[in-house]
Chain A
Amino acid sequence: MASELDTLPVITTRRDEAQGFLQGLVSKSLGWARKYSLFQYPFVTACCGMEYMTVAAARYDLDRFGAALPRFSPRQADLLIVVGTVNCKQAPILRRVYEQIADPKWVVAFGVCASSGGFYDNYATVQGIDRIVPVDVYIPGCPPRPEQVLDGIMLLQRKIQGQEHKLIDRKPLPVVGQEPTSR
């Protein structure tokens, strides 16, 4: 159903229009580029890792979705895949790894333990990694089938395409020795 807003005329200046169009174009292109070059950091802690290997290997082939290369340094990655149970002792490590990934970054909770703690509802286990880091896509299953994982990756790609991307996505850093300018 069309809302009232859809029929209202929107008044923009030419400058706004031009910027909006260009920014939209840049955002779409960057989204397209980013969703097909997911460099992942697999945070593998448990048995789901076997399923992750299957997904990454030739039969299911994560490479088809542009997510081929697992980087074993979070500084080179932009997709954190948390595979398996995370316990309270590991939570600071997970947060540190997440903080080391440069923006833009996304997080996938792989399997039911990472998503919600699974059946480990006890003193030792974090009840879902979203208590530690923000999560973009949850993949349920114990362990999830490779098809489910591919579905999750495609969901993430759709999400990335829909997000807003900018060429320069940060405030300029203050020059050392000068007062930071207020912007």
Chain B
Amino acid sequence: MSKVVIDALVERFPDAVYEAYVGVGGDDCVFVKKERIVDVCRFLKSDPKMLFDMAPYITAVDYLGQEPRFEVVYNLLSLKTNRRVRLRVKVPEQDALVPSVTSLWRGADWFERYCFDMYGIRFSDHPDMRRLFMYDEFVGHPLRKDYPLKGRQPLVEERDVRDIVRGPGPATRD
């Protein structure tokens, strides 16, 4: 794919986007500053040359040990021009609060709840910032790299069984 989207973004938002590149598969990829993500998304959605009317997947990455630690990745699709673009937003751990894009794409609701559930990244102005998959009693965010690999938190008291693989002990052990 051409660099049409990259060129348009760099021209329109020189202070908000940086490190643009063409990713694997030819999608236009660009880093966006956290505070400006809604502006950039609004431009990408409403500009008559862009028309990214769909956000098929929004997810997050935990780069443990790097600073800033998290990254939220927005994958956008334009059904009109059949283009895809990937926006990456660096999120520091201390200030894990990202402006929500649910006002632009209603479907971003559950993706942002997923990011909160699995990574603990909150989204401001989100209509319903709850966990998506895990239960409310769950402590922590399971897809963070520092969450224990098998840190189970059973909802009901478990029966005492003879586990021939793991030996005796509670199911919550690592």
Residues of A within 8 A of B (CB): 88-89, 91-92, 95, 116, 121-128, 130-134
A89 and B135 in contact, given A124-B142, A131-B171 (Cβ under 8 angstroms): yes
Query: Does chain A have a CB within 8 A of B159?
Result: yes
A130 and B159 in contact, given A88-B135, A122-B150, A123-B142 (Cβ under 8 angstroms): yes
Query: Does chain A have a CB within 8 A of B4?
Result: no
Q: Which secondary structure dominates chain A's binding surface?
A: loop
Q: List 15 interface pairs A-B (beta carbons < 8 Å), by A numbering.
A: A88-B152, A89-B133, A89-B134, A91-B155, A91-B156, A92-B156, A116-B165, A122-B149, A122-B150, A123-B147, A124-B152, A127-B163, A131-B159, A131-B161, A131-B171
Q: A132 CA to B157 CA in the complex, in Å?
A: 8
Interface centre among A88, A95, A116, A132 (most CB of B within 10 A): A88
Query: Does chain A have a CB within 8 A of B99?
Result: no
Residues of A with C-beta under 8 A to B154? 88, 91, 126, 131
Query: Does chain A have a CB within 8 A of B26?
Result: no
- Other contacts beyond A124-B142, A125-B152: 9, CB < 8 A: A92-B156, A121-B150, A124-B133, A124-B134, A124-B152, A127-B152, A131-B158, A131-B171, A134-B159
A29: min CB distance to chain B, Å = 32
Residues of B with C-beta under 8 A to A134? 159
Q: A89 CA to B132 CA in the complex, in Å?
A: 12
B26: min CB distance to chain A, Å = 34
A62: min CB distance to chain B, Å = 28
Residues of A with C-beta under 8 A to B149? 122-123
Q: A89 CA to B156 CA in the complex, in Å?
A: 9
Other-chain contact of B155, A88, A123, A130, A133 (Cβ < 8 Å): A88
Q: Interface residue count for B (Cβ, 8 Å)?
A: 21
Query: Does chain A have a CB within 8 A of B151?
Result: yes
Residues of A with C-beta under 8 A to B135? 88-89
Q: A126 CA to B172 CA in the complex, in Å?
A: 10
B149: min CB distance to chain A, Å = 7
Query: Does chain A have a CB within 8 A of B153?
Result: yes
Residues of B with C-beta under 8 A to A128? 161, 163
B161: min CB distance to chain A, Å = 5
Q: A125 CA to B134 CA in the complex, in Å?
A: 11
On whether the beta carbons of B151 and A130 are closer than 8 Å, the reply is no
Q: A156 CA to B159 CA in the complex, in Å?
A: 22
Residues of B with C-beta under 8 A to A95? 156
Q: A95 CA to B142 CA in the complex, in Å?
A: 24
B156: min CB distance to chain A, Å = 5
Residues of B with C-beta under 8 A to A116? 165
Q: A126 CA to B163 CA in the complex, in Å?
A: 13
Q: A147 CA to B121 CA in the complex, in Å?
A: 48
Q: A92 CA to B163 CA in the complex, in Å?
A: 21
Interface string of B69-111 (1 = CB under 8 A from A): 0000000000000000000000000000000000000000000
